[in-house]
Structure 1
Amino acid sequence: MRKLSFKLGLLFFVFVLGIETVLFASLYVTLVNARINEEFEQLLARGNNHRDVLEKSYHPSTLEHVVMMESEAETDVVITDAKGKILYFSDHILPFAKKLIPSVDVRHIPHSGMVVQNNWKKESYIATASPIRMDGKTRGYVYMFQRTASIQNMIDKLKHHFLVVGILSVFLTIMTIAFLSRVITIPLIRMKQATEKLSKGDFSVRLQVKGEDELAQLGKAIQTLARDLEYLKKERNEFLASISHELRTPLTYVKGYADIARRPTIEEEERAKYLSIIYEEAEHMQKLVKDLFELAKMDQHSFQIQKEPTPLCLFLKKIYEKMYPAFQTKNMSLVYRCEENITVHIDQQRFEQVMMNLLDNALKYSHQGSTVSIDVRMEKKNVMIMISDEGIGIPEADLPYVFERFYRVDKSRSRTGGGTGLGLSIAKEIVEAHGGSISATSQFGKGTNMIITLPRGDDDVYDFIG
């Protein structure tokens, strides 16, 4: 992450430095040109002022006065006649004036004057010319000169200021980018550390996430992943412990009773009893392995269901007729109520497995003489199937966990009841594969309601879990 912070900061720095360079260069060129143009305009305006005075009073005393004024200024003046002959001039300017004035084409000089020497980079002076016109005729010209050293000095100062500001800007840019890249990468560093912990099996990762930006969303995703992995690890350990327990108990029975049945001194009647127990435990293990195989296929997303349009009432009536004798044997009532013309798309074999499991649970955990009912009704776009019993019920503390694998409300009934603790979990997976949901409500000691909700109008023929 240090490398990422450096690369990110370097990338920002290059982009910002490039932008600053372009902006500073543009600003520098603009300011330099503006200042130089300002110098030209001021020099031309000074020459025009002298020209205006001379046009009003063209006398030797006035000409001398103009030259005397410029002798105390940073500029110099040269006054010529109409043919370019020098009449009056400031000190030290005469050599440069004699060189420049003959090369000036006075025919193109307007009354407002013009710059006749603008090469401030190579020449020692810049110059302007303003014509003196009286009575419609040109009497002469006022040439103004200014040393380019002053312009060069101004440019040097401007360069110095820009250099200082540029260095300060680069320094502040580096500090700002370093801070910002650090701020940006700190959450990434923490996320990297968190993922390293996750890779080592430490799921106790807690990230302090603030905001709703992409980094915050990534942090929340890692936090959610950590919680899910922690939950899955706990579930896996509990699952393996439950499988170990479920297999160890019947295997202990099988091994123990097989050892007794092998004794030659045992009577045949007693041997048959032990063999019967061994057979029951083998059946229990067979059912457990079958349920585990079903769950394994669901977890691997290879559990396939084949839906088809099914008249629900007719389908449930067949299940009712199949289960009715078992309820009669236990002196219990099985009631069936269903509206006509309800069609759902289900895998009949898988859904029959769900209904048989729920009805078998109701039969096991209900008292003799009680009633179990199957009720079907429409709710908007859904179909609700409710299996109700008047049995022992489920304690409120256990109700949220009844669909978890190997969870049993009454642990003491696990052997006598013959269940594996997987039936409701498998039923939940099958119902959800149909796009539905299953839930439970119960009052302890009064009974339980298992509620299945299925969608209508599902035209899919094939579906897969996941």
Structure 2
Amino acid sequence: MRTLFLRIFLSFWAAMLLVLLSTAGVAWYRLSQVQSVTIRQLGEEAEAALYSGGVPAMRTWLAETQRKYPGRPIYVVGQTGEDILDRPLPQALRSYARRMREAGFFGVGVLPSRRNDPLLLTPLFTDRDGSVYTVMIDTAGWPLSALRDTDVRLLLLAFALVVSGLVCWLLARYVSKPVVHLQASARSLAAGNLDTHVAEDFSRRKDELGVLARDFDTMADHVRNLIASKETLLRAMSHELRSPLARLRVALGLARREGADLTRQLDRIELEAERLDEIIGQMLQLSQLRVVEHQLPREPLDLTILLSEVVDDARLEATAVNKQVEWKAGPPVPFDGDHALLRSAIENVLRNAVRFTTQNTAVMVSLIAEGRDIRIVIEDHGPGIPEAELERVFEPFYRVAESRDRDSGGTGLGLAITARIIHLYSGTVRAFNRGGEGLKVEITLPALA
């Protein structure tokens, strides 16, 4: 039983089955008490009562016998076809009595019952005045007729309460115990214990509660990683902001000196202020991307047109420093995404390539749609990256040792933003060193179905 639904269903089903079996068992037990008294014995007792005190004595005997065996309707029927206690006869017994009268068997003998007649009867016996009687037992409705017995009903009620109570208690304990454990773990997580896990205690469970426990651990890991990344980001941001702020203070100190070159120092202050603004802007963008996943904007667009726009802007920057960007637009490549986000992701990589490619070389851009994948490849002729650091370049504020100088123009956030945007669209971004020199960055997105 791998699901909680199935466990609950089968538990209640088993409880109902036990109650039904107990009902049948108690009924058969009570009926066995009647069956232990043969129909012939009842006839002999009725005849003895009739001989000893007449019809009134036989009525008294029948009433007491019926109270003694409430699970079986017992009748004493005379030749008129009526019960001596004036009780209405069941249809089967009434039909049989009518057939006996019509066949003239009263006073002669007992009419053989048909195979499907739901009754038992005794041989005929007569009163002193010649009246003929027989004892009939209605067998229709066995064994449920035993439920007419008050003792049987009370016993069944008690048994049903015990069985259902036990099953429900076990089921409630089975369900509530892990829920209480999950509740305690949730409170522990809320209190700041980010290492809280519960799946180990539910390792053998394959039902919904086991799945819930594993989902809880996934959530806890995600929360822990999110908080850890936030803290790392804050530490990195504080470090990154200190450098331009320190240079601002130096520039202000130099500007206050007599005879200082104010224009140069003001230019430096302006440059550092722009860098601060860029860092803060990219930090805000990266922070927003961490919460936009569930409301990711999508609209139909053509990646070929989008890439052409990004390349045109990059060519302006490249031409100013004797560099080129090679790109040949191909057929339309449809995609569902946000134009601004995807443009930012591609532009960060392309501007990075233009920044680091050597002068008089070209950055090559290509768009390839193959099967289920769309690949955007950007290659430069720069210094490349050590193999051990290829994956880390997409971390916030990470810089390769050779490019840490602020004059390179980077904040260390561009590629992190790219990686986050592409991840939101179920894609990947990877960096490779080219065989000769330079770096190749490959963005892969899922093609439209």
Normalising to structure 2: TM-score of the pair? 0.65
* CA positional deviation for 1:347: 5.8
- 1:184 paired residue among 169, 175, 192: 175
1:43 aligns with 2:33: no
Match runs of 1:241-260 below 5 Å:
241-260=235-254
Instruction: Indicate conservation of the 8 Å contact 1:13/1:174, yes or no.
Output: no
Quick one: distance in 1 between partners of 2:394 and 2:280?
18
Match runs of 1:198-209 below 5 Å:
198-207=189-198, 208=200, 209=202
Instruction: Indicate conservation of the 8 Å contact 1:17/1:170, yes or no.
Output: no
- 1:281 paired residue among 272, 288, 313: 272
Deviations for 1:20-72, whole angstroms, at most 9, x for unmatched residues?
6676456534543464366353436xx6xxxxxxxxxxxxxxxxxxxxxxxxx
Comparing both structures, which one devotes a greater share of its residues to strand? Answer: 1
Quick one: distance in 2 between partners of 1:162 and 1:253?
94
1:105 aligns with 2:105: no
* CA positional deviation for 1:232: 0.9
* CA positional deviation for 1:414: 5.3
Quick one: distance in 2 between partners of 1:328 and 1:194?
59
Assess, with a 3 A threshold, how the Cα gap between structure 1 residues 336 and 277 changes in structure 2: closer, same or farther. Answer: same
Quick one: distance in 2 between partners of 1:17 and 1:343?
59
1:227 aligns with 2:224: no
- 2:207 is matched with 213
Quick one: distance in 2 between partners of 1:339 and 1:177?
68
Instruction: Indicate conservation of the 8 Å contact 1:336/1:373, yes or no.
Output: yes
Instruction: Indicate conservation of the 8 Å contact 1:374/1:388, yes or no.
Output: yes
* 1:426 counterpart SS class: helix
Quick one: distance in 2 between partners of 1:430 and 1:187?
38
* 1:421 counterpart SS class: coil
Quick one: distance in 2 between partners of 1:345 and 1:179?
52
Quick one: distance in 2 between partners of 1:338 and 1:384?
14
Q: Give the CA RMSD over aligned residues.
A: 4.8
- 1:355 is matched with 346
Quick one: distance in 2 between partners of 1:352 and 1:187?
48
Assess, with a 3 A threshold, how the Cα gap between structure 1 residues 173 and 390 changes in structure 2: closer, same or farther. Answer: same
* 1:402 counterpart SS class: helix
- 1:95 paired residue among 22, 28, 52: 52
Instruction: State the AA in 1 paired with 2:260.
Output: E
Assess, with a 3 A threshold, how the Cα gap between structure 1 residues 388 and 17 changes in structure 2: closer, same or farther. Answer: closer
Assess, with a 3 A threshold, how the Cα gap between structure 1 residues 76 and 299 changes in structure 2: closer, same or farther. Answer: closer
Deviations for 1:317-373, whole angstroms, at most 9, x for unmatched residues?
554454346445655553324434556666655544433321221133334565421
* 1:385 counterpart SS class: strand
Assess, with a 3 A threshold, how the Cα gap between structure 1 residues 414 and 218 changes in structure 2: closer, same or farther. Answer: farther
* CA positional deviation for 1:160: 9.3
Assess, with a 3 A threshold, how the Cα gap between structure 1 residues 41 and 395 changes in structure 2: closer, same or farther. Answer: farther
1:442 aligns with 2:432: yes
- 2:357 is matched with 366
Instruction: State the AA in 2 paired with 1:249.
Output: S
User: Which structure: larger Rg?
Assistant: 1
1:268 aligns with 2:260: yes
- 2:384 is matched with 393
- 1:237 is matched with 231
* CA positional deviation for 1:184: 2.6
Normalising to structure 1: TM-score of the pair? 0.63
Quick one: distance in 1 between partners of 2:300 and 2:443?
18
Give ranges in structure 2 of 5+ residues lacking alignment: 1-7, 60-75, 82-99, 113-120, 136-145
Quick one: distance in 2 between partners of 1:20 and 1:307?
60
Assess, with a 3 A threshold, how the Cα gap between structure 1 residues 163 and 397 changes in structure 2: closer, same or farther. Answer: farther
Match runs of 1:149-164 below 5 Å:
none
- 1:407 paired residue among 369, 380, 398: 398
Quick one: distance in 1 between partners of 2:39 and 2:347?
103
Assess, with a 3 A threshold, how the Cα gap between structure 1 residues 407 and 322 changes in structure 2: closer, same or farther. Answer: same
Assess, with a 3 A threshold, how the Cα gap between structure 1 residues 230 and 341 changes in structure 2: closer, same or farther. Answer: closer
* CA positional deviation for 1:386: 0.8
Instruction: Indicate conservation of the 8 Å contact 1:408/1:414, yes or no.
Output: no
Quick one: distance in 1 between partners of 2:363 and 2:442?
13
Quick one: distance in 2 between partners of 1:38 and 1:227?
71
* CA positional deviation for 1:425: 2.8
Instruction: State the AA in 2 paired with 1:43.
Output: Q
Quick one: distance in 1 between partners of 2:306 and 2:181?
56
Instruction: Indicate conservation of the 8 Å contact 2:392/2:398, yes or no.
Output: yes
* 1:39 counterpart SS class: coil
Assess, with a 3 A threshold, how the Cα gap between structure 1 residues 113 and 322 changes in structure 2: closer, same or farther. Answer: closer
**How many residue pairs align between the two structures?**
374
- Range with greater deviation from structure 2 (411-420 or 14-23): 14-23
Assess, with a 3 A threshold, how the Cα gap between structure 1 residues 14 and 353 changes in structure 2: closer, same or farther. Answer: closer
Quick one: distance in 2 between partners of 1:455 and 1:13?
47
Instruction: State the AA in 1 paired with 2:430.
Output: A
Quick one: distance in 2 between partners of 1:415 and 1:235?
24
Assess, with a 3 A threshold, how the Cα gap between structure 1 residues 399 and 178 changes in structure 2: closer, same or farther. Answer: farther
Instruction: State the AA in 2 paired with 1:441.
Output: A
* CA positional deviation for 1:422: 1.7
Assess, with a 3 A threshold, how the Cα gap between structure 1 residues 22 and 376 changes in structure 2: closer, same or farther. Answer: closer
